[in-house]
Every structure is written in structure tokens, then in C-alpha cells.
Amino acid sequence: SELSKVNKFLEQKKEEIQEYEDKYNEIKYQTVTESIYQTCITELETLRQRIAETEEALNQLRNKKESLQRQQRELSNEIDNNNQQELTLKNQIQDFEKLYQQYEDYLENRKQSEQITGDLEILDRKIGECRQQIGEINQFIRDAAANRERGNIRLEDLQRKVNEYQTYQTGERLNKDIEDIEARFEALTKKISDDQLLLEENLKRAKDRFEKKQTQLLDKEALYNLAEQDYKEVKADSFVEREIRKEQSSQEDKFRKLQKEYHKISTDIAVLQNKIMDGRAQLEEKFEKTEPIPRGQIIDLEFKKRAKLILTDISKEEEHLKSCEEKIQSYEDNLSNLAEFEDFTTDKTFPFEEEFGGTGKNNLKELSRKELINFRGRLVRDYRKSDEVQDNRREALRKCLDSISRKKDYEEEFFKRPLETMLQLIDEPKEVLEQLTIILSSFHALLEKLEVDIAMVEKEQQKVIEMLLDYICEVHKNLGKIDRNSTITVRDRSVKMLKIKLPEWEEQESVYQLRLRDFMEELTARGLQRLSENENIEEMIGAHVTTKNLYDTVVGIGNVGIKLYKIEAQREYPITWAEVAKNSGGEGFLSAFVVLSSLLSYMRREDTDLFYEREEGKVLVMDNPFAQTNAAHLLKPLMDVAKKNNTQLICLSGLGGESIYNRFDNIYVLNLIDSGLQKDVQYLKGEHIKGEKPVLTVRASQVKVEEMEQMELLF
């Protein structure tokens, strides 16, 4: 390189000398006259003028160049902005194309769905017609089976009663209603058996729970190798147990790793000890001595041989020095070719084991000049390729993060901020991985916390479902108690005026649990929707969680059969609750009175006392009840129902007649009399016209009247 510089300098000097000689010869051999001189002066002025014009044009061109450079920079910035916008638009176009393809798939699926829906509607109509026909046939079969079943049940009931009462041949015959005597007998026997069964079931459940917990405790005692005094008086905590298991697993992994390293080191030590022992044995066998002589006692007297060896070593060292100089020169050449990478720094040492795999060498010192050049070329090639791969993956990572951040699910600040942080660290993959690890760890921790919260919520939900199911079961049982004191005698035979037939709770309990769970899930979904809209959920819960709605949703009000007796002048027969509305005014009033009396009797009855069989006295005040109910065949059962329930009727009416008067023991006439002391003031005076005059007892009484909303009927 130095020689080329000198040659270039000599060529330049030769050109300058040649140019000087040409100008010298031109001046030496030219002829100067006045005209030529004037011409030269004129040309000189012209050239000066041209130089000035050229400089002015040059300044204009420089200004124009600067203006063009500014425009170039502005256009470059605009091009960069346009490129960025183009990239953004390309990404949006790609997203739109994906959306368009998804929308096309959606339209195709929707078309197929509409076609399938139409076919399903046709099939549903056909199925509905078939179901209707099947329902009619099944209804006919059920009616026939019900009639037969009622006869069998009646026969079995009578046979059961005969068997039950067979042992009671002797005794005093009571002059009471048969159903009252049977109810009293069942209350005395059933209460005792129910209590016994309940206690046995509770004992069995307690034993099962105890055995299950005892088995779990023994399993954990064997698992953790514990003694009874280690866990006695200790409260179990599943969270602490999980943490202990994690820590135990971690310690076991560490112990296994240390044990593996210990075995490896022990093996290496044993191998080295064997080598030492083998070497010592060979030396002892070769020299027949067990201890080496001291170093100072060894004397080498072969000087010529030693000189030759030294000269040989010197020549080897010279060759080695020459080789080192060649390697140094090779290293310098390679370093000059790698000058563009001299700013690279790293804290890691690379052994280049994979790169040496095809050369059979173990380090850089063993490579020749050509091999080192090839090795350098491969490294540079691999570096540029890895740099290109890194750029591609960086761009792919940026696109991936941009695509994720544009999704609607990640627009919230909770997800958006970590994504922006990773975008800022896009040039540092290690930091991106660390940030991603931190984010995933926080998300996993949050998910674990949410799983615990969800488990607690599900547990509380299960408790609420159990409480509501118990409440509905209690309502169901109480509904069956309303009609038990509604039997009267009509035309010399016992007639149960109100019959309530309920579904069997035990048979349908699993279905009721599923219905209640669906109801709770629907209520929860509505509550979450209202909370997301910042609305109050108390009104919604109060409107949906009512006794009527709960019972109708779980059991079904339509599944409760209610039958009352319709009393006519010549006959009486049972009717359904839906047919009550078709009755005449008097018959409808009688049905309503039967229901009211049954409810009053049910509300005043005390079930906790086995011997509490009498009906408490009740007073019912009615205003003009005989407007439509004045026929004898309606008034008699009405009074019998009131007497059966120990209800005193106080009826205010302007109507008369034997059919009404004969039903009451006492009749009073109330008259308004003008006051002689105060004008426009009247007072009420009563006159007892029928019945024995009782002994009057004056008592202080207080009548409290409250305004109450009319209760909505359950059925």
C-alpha cells in the first residue's frame, strides 16, 4: 500500500512537470505585439466579466441547491410520513381483508343457519302436531289409569285403615267426625316415627362425614409422615397445605440436583485417584523404588547432546516465532477486515465449538491463514444472516404486539400499558422476555386469586341455593296443610270442600335443584349486566326473588291441583280452580269463603304441640254477604264450614228471610236515631230480637285499623 502511494505521487509530479514545460514553451516561442497585447487585455476583461457572471450564476445555483436540499429534506420527511401511513394502511387493509373473509364466512354460515332454522321450524310444527296427538292419547291413557289408580288407592287406603284399626276392637266410640279422629291418630303416630327417622338419618349422615374425614386425616398422616400429637389441636388450612407442598417439591428438586452433582464429583475423584495409583504403580514397577530421589541429586553430564538439544529447541522456537509472526500478520489482516465490528462489546466468552465442528480444530490458534479467513467469512456471513433474522423477528414481534393492541379485548388500560412497555423495549429482546415473564406471572397470580374468589362465590351460591330450596320445600309442605280441616257433612255424607294435590317433592327434588340453579344463574347474569351499566340491582332482585316467583319457577304453580266442591240444590260435585270463576255469584262466594276459612284455620294451628287439636276462636265481620248467597243449599255449607273452623260470623245485611235468619243464633237490629242535643248528629242503637240474652260484661277494648295493600293471590 505504501508503494502504491509513492507511485501515485510520482505520476502526479510528472503531470505537473509536463504541464509546466508546455506553458514554458508556449510563452518562450510566442510573439508579442501591441495588437496581440490589446487583444489579450480585451479577452482578459471578457474573461473577468464571464468569471463574475459565472460566480453570480454559481451563487444562484448554490441558493437553488440549498432550496432544493430543503425541499429534498421536506420531501424526505413527507415520504417517511407517507411510508408510515402506507404501512399503517397496509396493516389496516390486511386486517380488513381478514375481517372481510370472516364476514363472508359469517354470511355463508348465516345463510345455512337460516335454512336450517326454516327446516327446524317445519320439523317443530310436525313434531308439535305429533306431540299434540300423543298428548291426547296419553291424556286418555292417564285419565283411564288415574281412574283405576284412584280406585286402587282408595281400596289400599281402606285396607290399610282396616289393618291399622284391627287391633282397636274395644274402646269408647267418640261422637266426632271420622276425619278428625283419623287426623288425631296420624298426628300421634307419625310425629313419633318421623322424629325417630330424622334422628337415625342425622346419625347416619354424621357417621358418614366422620368416617370420610377420618380417612382423609389418615391419608394425610401417612403422606406427611406425621404423628397424632403433630396435628392435634391444629386447624386445617388448604392454602397453607398447597404452599407447603410447593415448597416441599422445590426442596426435593434441589436435593436431587445436589445429589446428582455429588455423585458426579465423587465419580471424578475416584477416577483421578485410580489414575494416580496406576501411575505410581507403573513408576514403582519401572524404577523398583517407592520414593523419588531429590531433584538436587540429579546431574546431566552429556554437554554435546544437551547443546544439540538446545540448538534444536532454538530452531524450533525460530520456526515457531516465524509462524507466530505469520499468524500475527494474518490476525492483523483479519482485524482490519473486521474493523466495522470493533465497537461491539460482550461480556460472554464464545468457544465456537459448532463452528470448529467441520475443521477438526479446537481453537483459533490451530487454524491456518486460509482457514482463519474462511472462518472469518463464515462468521461474518452468519452474523449478517442472524442480524437479518433478528430484524425480521423484531418486525414480526412489533406486528404481533400491534395486532394484539388493536384488538378490542385489550383496549383496557390494564392490558394496554404492558403492551406499550414491550413496544418501547422492542430493540431489547431479553428485556421484552423479562417484561413478558413479569406480566404473565402477575396474570397467573391474579388468575389464582380469581379462582379462589370464584370458589368462594360458588360456595356461597350453593349455600344460597340450599337455603332457597329449603324455603321452597317449607312452602310446599305448608301448602299441603291448608286443606286438612275443610271436611263438612252435606246430605248425610262427608265432603272435603277443598283439596290441594301437590307434586311429590322427593321424586322431583333433583329437577327442582336444577331449575333453582338455572334461576340463580339467570338472576346473576342480569345482576352483572346491571352492574356493568352502573344501575342498582336491589330493585331487580326484590322484584324477582319473591315467594310466588320462586315457587312458580322451581315447582310450577300450574302443577298444583286445586279442587273445590260445587254445591247445587240437588247435587254436589268437584270442580277445578279454573272452573271456580265460571260459578254463579253465590257459588263463587262459597268457594272463596271455604278457601278463606281454610287459610284462617291453617294460620291459627300450632304444629309443634301434638295435643293441640282444638280450633282457636276466630271472628269474621262481613258486610252484606247475602246479596247473592241467600239460597239455603249455599248458606248451610257456609255455616258448617264456619262452625268446623270455630269461626264466629258477624254479618251486616239489609236482607231478610227464613233462609238467612234460621242460620244465626242471635240477630240484632241496628237503628240510627237523631240526637236531641246536637243538630245533624245521629247515634246507633241496637236491639236484640233473636236468641238468649247473654250476661253483658263490659271490657276495655282497643280496635286498631291499619291500611293494608290487597294481597295478590298465589294461584
Collapsing DSSP states into helix, strand and coil, what is residue 57? helix
47 and 134: one domain? Answer: yes
103 and 207 fall within a common domain: no
In a 13 Å sphere around the CA of 687, the CA atoms on its Cβ side amount to 6
- C-alpha distances (whole Å) from 515 to each of 115, 201, 459, 525, 550 are 32, 26, 18, 15, 10
Structural domain including 412 reads: 316-338+351-427
Provide the pLDDT for residue 613.
54
Residue 363 included in any domain: yes
Residue pair 316/308 in contact by the 8 Å Cβ criterion: no
pLDDT above 50 (res 32) = yes
What is the mean predicted confidence (pLDDT) over 685-702?
A: 65
Q: State how far the Cα of 414 lies from the Cα of 53, in Å rounded to an integer.
A: 70
My answer on whether 197 and 123 are in the same domain is no
Q: Are residues 46 and 147 in the same domain?
A: yes
- The total number of residues written for the chain in this structure: 715
- From 401, 427, 453, the end of a domain falls on 427
Whether 90 and 191 map to the same domain: the answer is no
Q: Is residue 493 part of a domain?
A: no
pLDDT at 660: 79
Alpha-carbon separation of residue 697 from 297, 337, 694, 700, 701 (angstroms): 148, 130, 9, 10, 12
Query: Do residues 36 and 89 share a domain?
Result: yes
Going by pLDDT thresholds of 50, 70 and 90, the confidence category of residue 703 is very low
Is the same domain home to 81 and 115? Answer: yes
> What integer pLDDT is reported at residue 706 of this predicted model?
55
Query: Taking the C-alpha atoms of 170, 176, 177 and 183 in order, what is their torsion angle to the nearest 10 degrees?
Result: -70
pLDDT above 70: residue 300: no
The closest of 437, 445, 444 to 421, measured between CA atoms, is 437
Listed residues 427, 452, 479: the one ending a domain: 427
Res. 63 pLDDT band, cuts 50 70 90: confident
Q: Which residues pair with 564 in a beta bridge?
A: 498, 575
Identify the CA nearest to 488 among candidates 631, 635, 603, 622: 635
490 in a domain, yes or no? no
Q: Is residue 510 part of a domain?
A: no
DSSP secondary structure letters along 71-83? HHHHHHHHHHHHH
Q: Over 60: is that where the pLDDT of 715 sits?
A: no
Tell me what the mean pLDDT of segment 489-513 comes to.
Answer: 86
pLDDT surpassing 80 at residue 445: yes
Query: In the sheet that 498-501 helps form, which strands lie side by side, from edge to edge?
Result: 498-501, 561-567, 572-576
- Least confident range from 22-26, 66-70, 113-117, 265-269: namely 22-26
Give the per-residue pLDDT at 714: 42
Shared domain for 84 and 186, answered yes or no, is: no
CA atoms within 13 A on the CB side of 258: 6
Q: Is residue 64 part of a domain?
A: yes
Please give the Cα distance from 635 to 659 (Å, whole number): 8
* Share above pLDDT 90 across residues of the chain, in percent, rounded to a whole number: 2
Q: Which of 607, 378, 595 is nearest to 477 (CA)?
A: 607
**Buried (b) or exposed (e) across 149-179, using 16+ Cβ within 10 A?**
eeeeeeeeeeeeeeeeeeeeeeeeeeeeeee
Same domain, 151 and 185: no
Within-domain flag for 120 = yes
Q: What is the pLDDT of residues 630-680, one digit of tens each?
A: 777 888 888 888 888 888 888 888 777 777 788 888 888 888 888 777 777
Please check whether residue 595 lies inside any domain of the structure: no
Mean pLDDT of the chain: 78
Which amino acid type is present at position 1?
Answer: S
88-125 pLDDT, tens per residue?
888 788 878 888 888 888 888 888 878 887 877 887 78
CB 423 within 8 A of CB 398: yes
Asked which of 164-178, 208-222, 320-334, 588-602 is least confident by mean pLDDT, the reply is 164-178
Is the separation of the CB atoms in 485 and 644 below 8 Å?
yes
Winning range, highest mean pLDDT, from 68-77, 260-269, 296-305: 68-77
Pair 200, 85 in one domain: no
DSSP string of 207-249, one letter each residue: HHHHHHHHHHHHHHHHHHT--HHHHTT----HHHHHHHHHHHH
Task: Please state the φ and ψ torsions of residue 182, each to the nearest 5 degrees.
Answer: -65, -40
pLDDT of residue 362: 64
- Residue 440 pLDDT > 70, yes or no? yes
Same domain? 77 vs 135: yes
Percent of the chain scoring above 70 in pLDDT: 81
How many domains does the chain contain in total?
3
Terminal C-alpha separation, the chain: 113
Contacts of 181 (CB under 8 A, 6+ apart): 174
pTM here is 0.43
Which of 107, 131, 159 is where one domain is finished? 159
Query: Residue 698's pLDDT is what?
Result: 46
DSSP letter assigned to residue 575: E
141 and 205 in a single domain? The answer is: no
In a domain, 38, yes or no: yes
Query: Per 3-state DSSP, what percentage of the chain is helix, strand, and coil (rounded to 5)?
Result: 70, 5, 25
